[in-house]
Amino acid sequence: MATQIKSKAKMNKPSGPDWNALLVKVGSHQDKAAFGALFSHFGPLLKGFLLKGGGVEPEQAEELVQETMIKVWRKAPSYAPTQAAASTWMYTIARNTRIDWLRKHAKKNHQTDELVAEDLFDENEESSPFTALIQTRNASNIREHLNSLPQEQLQVLTLMYFQGKSGQEVADELAIPLGTVKSRVRLALQKLKLKISPDGEEQVVYAS
Amino acid sequence: MINNHPNTQLLTDYATGGLSMAPLISITTHLQFCDQCREAVSGLNILGGELLTECDEAELSEDLLAQTLAMLDAPMMANAETAARPLSPVSARTLQVNFLSTCIGF
């Protein structure tokens, strides 16, 4: 089950190459060496991430890694390091790639196949005027507090992220009430000092 | 101006990719007009990026990079459905609006 993350020792590793700068190089100069470096770093992480979520075979995970990295190459010219760290940007592209892949495999010939996730998720629009500031602040807060989250909170978060699932799906999987999942998510986000919705957690505005 | 916001769980569902199409479209539309929720989603995406970075690596097939590099020069063949579809944010938005009116239409 996908509830474990790296040990603290590994989390405190010194920072490596400047991935943001390499991504900019890919975008501005179609730099294949920079792309290769990004691929070698993020590819195995992406594969690990996808495999942790389960539901995909290793070959399919590689197919998804490849598809994600091809999108990275194609979309790199629109990447702005002031808007997102390379890792955040990669995450959103991988997430969208998996959504499309799952939809394609779940319902073949469905008419909404024409609509792909990147039409609905705009990586650049998921940032705000405060992004540059919060990017740095949030990332260090997250790194600092992720490992001290109570196991039950970490479990819910990692299940959601690794599997690309909703709170309801995770509640079903763990056989716990949705309310419990919601409060764990909320508490975890507070510990990680992440901003939550201006409406708090109780009002359901967009009931599905 | 905006008084109603998706709750934290929905924003998290959005960020993890767990929403089905109808609520996904609602949230996407809301985000276009709401800086506060965009800031929240931005933080949730950073969390996704951190979880990715802290993930255990899984070794890739030796030739995957070479294969992928070869595909970069032939994106049409590599991924006819997605890779060859450059959509600007503007056209993406138009498409959303069109799609939304289609949804509202029935």
Residue-wise pLDDT for A34-67, tens only, equals 999 999 999 999 999 999 988 889 999 999 999 9
pLDDT at A129: 58
Domains of chain B: 8-105 (1.10.10.1320)
What single DSSP character describes residue A192? T
Kindly state the average pLDDT of the residues B86-91.
46
Residues 156-195 of A with CB under 8 A from B: 157-158, 160-169, 178, 181-182, 185-186, 189, 192, 194-195
Confidence label for A11 from pLDDT (cuts 50, 70 and 90):
very low
CATH 1.10.1740.10 domain residues, chain A: 16-125
Assigned CATH topology for domain A128-194 = Arc Repressor Mutant, subunit A (1.10.10)
What single DSSP character describes residue B81? T
Q: CA–CA distance from A17 to each of A7, A14, A39, A95, B52 (Å)?
A: 21, 10, 13, 24, 17
* Nearest residue of chain B to residue A8 (CA atoms): B54
Q: With a cut of 70, say whether residue B80 has pLDDT above it.
A: no
pLDDT in tens, B17-28: 999 888 999 999
Place of tokens 């039409």: A119
Contact A96, A89 (CB under 8 A): no
Angle at A120 between CA B54 and CA A206, to 5 degrees: 90
Confidence label for A208 from pLDDT (cuts 50, 70 and 90):
very low
C-alpha distance from B57 to closest chain A C-alpha (Å): 5
Confidence label for B33 from pLDDT (cuts 50, 70 and 90):
confident
Residue to mutate among A199, A201, A202, A204, with most B CBs inside 10 A, is: A199
pLDDT > 90 fraction of chain A, expressed in percent and rounded? 58
Residues 44-103 of A with CB under 8 A from B: 44-49, 51-52, 58, 61-62, 65-67, 69-71, 73-74, 84-85, 87-92, 94-100
pLDDT in tens, B35-60: 889 889 989 999 999 999 999 999 99
pLDDT in tens, A128-163: 556 666 677 788 889 899 999 999 999 999 999 999
* Rounded Cα distance, A81 and A3, in Å: 30
pLDDT in tens, A164-179: 999 999 999 999 999 9
C-alpha distance from B105 to closest chain A C-alpha (Å): 16
Q: With a cut of 80, say whether residue A190 has pLDDT above it.
A: yes
Q: With a cut of 50, say whether residue B86 has pLDDT above it.
A: no
ipTM of the complex: 0.84
pLDDT at A17: 87
Residue A12's Cβ-count burial label (10 Å; 0-12, 13-18, 19+) is exposed
Q: Does domain A16-125 have CATH number 1.10.1740.10?
A: yes
Residues of B in contact with A6 (CB under 8 A): 54-56
CB distance A138–B58 less than 8 Å? no
Q: Which two tokens stand for residue B82?
A: 């997605």
Q: Which of A62, A149, A192, A61 is nearest to B45 (CA)?
A: A192
Kindly state the average pLDDT of the residues A15-34.
92
CATH 1.10.10.10 domain residues, chain A: 128-194
> Which amino acid does the sequence have at A26?
V
C-alpha distance from B74 to closest chain A C-alpha (Å): 10
The torsion of the CA quartet A16, A21, A27, A32, rounded to 10 degrees, works out to -40
CB distance A36–B6 less than 8 Å? no
* Rounded Cα distance, A98 and A81, in Å: 23
Residue to mutate among A110, A156, A166, A178, with most B CBs inside 10 A, is: A166
Q: With a cut of 80, say whether residue A2 has pLDDT above it.
A: no
> Which amino acid does the sequence have at A7?
S
Query: What integer best gives the mean pLDDT of chain A?
Result: 83
pLDDT in tens, A62-95: 999 999 999 999 999 999 988 889 999 999 999 9
pLDDT at A92: 95
* Nearest residue of chain A to residue B42 (CA atoms): A127
pLDDT at A198: 79
Asked if B35 is an interface residue toward chain A (Cβ–Cβ < 8 A), one would say yes
pLDDT at B102: 46
Measured on CA atoms in the order A201, A206, B4, B5, is the torsion positive or negative? Answer: positive
CB distance B83–A94 less than 8 Å? no
* Rounded Cα distance, B91 and A144, in Å: 39
Maximum distance among all Cα pairs of chain A, rounded to whole angstroms: 51
